């Protein structure tokens, strides 16, 4: 029997790598797409006749309209607003209102003040900061990929045949397996993070890393415990769950129940000790 307390105390606080925080390559790429237009708009900074200068600039260079959303930290090409006059949906790829209305939009959102009063000196530098802030929203996805990449590195070490993001129905089709016991009678569209094929067995693997707690962790533990139960009678099929993270401290009880029932529940320390080599047979 494995010792849950010892295993649980091995949970990692973080697995963040250097590129987790900001993907500067993507930030620079997004700025480069608007560099010419932003430089044109830089001519408006500190203008003494901002509305007339904006009108002249938008008439001569209508393409600069597409810069406006990023100045408001918005990635969409359309922005909806409503006021006492009604509802408006401004399109910044293909102008659908008068130039005066677009300038009014910029005035009401604070962009005219930002540019006219020299609050920023360079719109490219300003947008670089905006893009950096927006990119931080991608940390959740990068965090999930970090765990997947880590687990994949240990799968590769086994030298076995494996697949990423494989649907349950594709497993059934590829290896002529009946997985109706875990597919809700064939209605589930479950996708597994990894599938490892050995000479005798199919191993489906789920991975996750939780830095913070929440009800989702309890639901995940219960769900995976149920999959483990339902899959026990499927010939040549094994369910493997690799999880880690300090977030489990708030869901310890449910995780312990699952740990005591699941044969293949592992953490990063288990991977480091070569558990995949022992399990995949």
Average pLDDT, the chain: 93
What CA–CA distance (Å, rounded) separates 242 from 240? 7
pLDDT of residue 210 exceeding 60: yes
Mean pLDDT of 153-163: 97
Q: Given pLDDT bands bounded at 50, 70 and 90, which one contains residue 222? A: very high
Q: Is the pLDDT of residue 141 over 90?
A: no
pLDDT tens track for 228-252 = 999 999 999 999 999 999 999 999 9
Lowest mean pLDDT among 104-113, 138-147, 178-187, 229-238: 178-187
Average pLDDT (129-143) is 85
CA 269/CA 244 separation, integer angstroms: 9
Please choose, from the candidates 61, 51, 62, 63, the residue with its C-alpha nearest in 3D space to the C-alpha of residue 105. 51
Task: List the structure tokens of 220.
Answer: 């995940």
Pair of tokens at residue 118: 């020299």
Nearest to 123 by CA among 25, 41, 33, 231: 41
Radius of gyration for the alpha carbons in the chain, expressed in angstroms and rounded: 27
Instruction: Give domain 4-17+139-279's CATH architecture.
Output: 3-Layer(aba) Sandwich (3.40)
pLDDT, average across residues 15-39: 93
Domain ranges for the chain: 4-17+139-279, 21-137
Please give the average per-residue pLDDT across 210-222, as a whole number.
90
Q: Confidence band (pLDDT; 50, 70, 90) for 138?
A: confident
DSSP string of 155-217?
HHHHT-EEEEEEEHHHHHHHHT---GGGTTTTT---EEEEEEE-SS-EEEEEEEE-SS--HHH
Distance (Å, rounded) from C-alpha 120 to C-alpha 106?
A: 15
């Amino acid at each position: 029997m494995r010792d849950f307390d010892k295993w649980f105390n091995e949970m990692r606080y973080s697995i963040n790598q250097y590129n987790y925080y900001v993907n500067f390559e993507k930030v620079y790429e997004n700025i480069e797409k608007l560099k010419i237009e932003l430089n044109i708009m830089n001519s408006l900074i500190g203008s003494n006749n901002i509305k007339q200068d904006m009108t002249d600039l938008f008439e001569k260079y209508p393409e600069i309209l597409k810069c406006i959303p990023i100045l408001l930290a918005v990635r969409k090409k359309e922005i909806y607003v409503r006021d006492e006059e009604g509802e408006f949906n401004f399109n910044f790829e293909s102008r659908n209102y008068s130039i005066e209305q677009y300038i009014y939009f910029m005035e009401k959102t604070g962009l005219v003040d930002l540019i006219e009063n020299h609050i920023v000196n360079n719109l490219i530098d300003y947008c670089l900061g905006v893009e950096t802030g927006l990119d931080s929203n991608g940390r959740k996805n990068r965090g999930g990929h970090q765990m997947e990449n880590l687990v994949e590195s240990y799968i590769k070490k086994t030298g076995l045949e494996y697949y990423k993001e494989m649907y349950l129905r594709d497993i059934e089709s590829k290896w002529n397996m009946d997985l109706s016991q875990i597919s809700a009678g064939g209605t589930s569209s479950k996708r597994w993070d990894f599938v490892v094929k050995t000479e005798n067995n199919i191993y489906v693997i789920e991975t996750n890393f939780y830095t913070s707690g929440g009800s989702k962790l309890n639901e995940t533990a219960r769900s995976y415990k149920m999959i483990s139960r339902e899959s026990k009678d499927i010939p040549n099929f094994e369910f493997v769950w690799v999880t880690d993270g300090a977030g489990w401290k708030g869901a310890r009880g449910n995780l312990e129940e699952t740990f005591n029932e699941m044969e293949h529940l592992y953490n990063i320390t288990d991977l480091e000790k070569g558990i995949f080599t022992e399990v995949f047979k």
